[in-house]
Structure 1
Amino acid sequence: MGEITPAAESEGAANGYTALAAKLQAMQQAADALLEQAEQVASRMRRNANAAVTLADLCAAAEVDPRHVAVIGDVSLAFGRVAGGGRQVAAASEAVSEAAGHLRAQHRVEYGGIHAAAAASRARQAKPGFYRQT
């Protein structure tokens, strides 16, 4: 591996079957939490944008200085951009959650049987990475 990222073997048991499954589950849960928060922010910003549009309309009807009405319109646009960004974050976190879930399932399919056999064996098992060819 490179200088920044240490080789996987250097973490020892932290790369074992159950440890990796736990890391993937934690990643999926964090992505799910981020998705929920991003959706909440996007929804709140959309409501704020709509409220700013209504306020601008009311101010225009009350013949408020057009500069002030324009600034309120700018605020509405800014809220709309934040809502769009929140939706993008939500979409990205949903993709990460799905990918982590898929990877967890694949990891279970590929290594679950090996882990079960190793756990049932009385023989001491080599650390993760021992059989890795270099």
Structure 2
Amino acid sequence: MGDIALSVAADGNANGFSAVQAKLAALQRTAVQLHEHAERVAQRMRANAKTAAAGADLSAAAQVDGRHVSAIEEVAAHFGRVARGARGLSGSADAMHRAAGRVRSEHRAEYGGVQAAVTASRARQAKPGFYRQQ
């Protein structure tokens, strides 16, 4: 998941069209991995919450001390909160994946033609950012 920590150089070499497309693709892949991992955690925590709640019910039916039943119910509630948090993280990762895809598409639409013209030319081109006005 550390793919998104790519270097961003100020000299422009790491900020060319292909490099930016690669960074956005890495961001998308990482977001998908995070989404999938958070979904697995949420599923596991929901199962744990359900099991803990069932344990609390069985303990109450067995007339276990109320403090113990209460502690088990509290554990079930905490598992439930973790599951909801993981679902929230999963949703955020999914939104990040979609946003990175939109940015990647917009970047390709905006600069893809320029990149195609540059790569088709035999003339040596200036580094990205050279013509930027300050």
TM-score normalised to the size of structure 2?
0.92
Q: Which residue matches 2:116?
A: 116
2:94 pairs with 1:79:
no
Moved over 6 A (4+): none
Change (3 A) 1:43 1:9: closer
Q: Counterpart in 2 of 1:4?
A: none
Q: Is the 8 A contact 1:9 1:128 kept in 2?
A: no
Q: What is the number of equivalent residue pairs in this alignment?
A: 127
- Does the alignment pair 1:35 with 2:35? yes
Q: What do residues 32-67 of structure 1 show as CA deviations (whole Å, max 9, x unaligned)?
A: 000000000001001100100000000000000010
CA contact (8 A) 1:38 1:87 kept: yes
> Kindly tell me: are residues 10 and 60 of structure 1, through their superposed partners in 2, closer, same or farther at Cα, counting changes over 3 Å?
same
For 1:28-107, list aligned pairs within 5 A.
Answer: 28-107=28-107
1:104-130 CA distance string (max 9 Å, x none):
100111110100000000110000110
Deviation at 1:70, TM superposition (A): 0.1
**Correspondence for 1:16:** 16
Superposed CA RMSD: 1.0
Give the aligned residue type for 2:89.
V
How far is the alpha carbon of 1:133 from its aligned partner?
A: 1.0
**Alpha-carbon distance in structure 2 between the residues aligned to 1:37 and 1:15:** 30
Q: Mind listing any 5+ residue stretches in structure 2 that lack a counterpart?
A: 1-7
Q: Percent of pairs identical after alignment?
A: 55
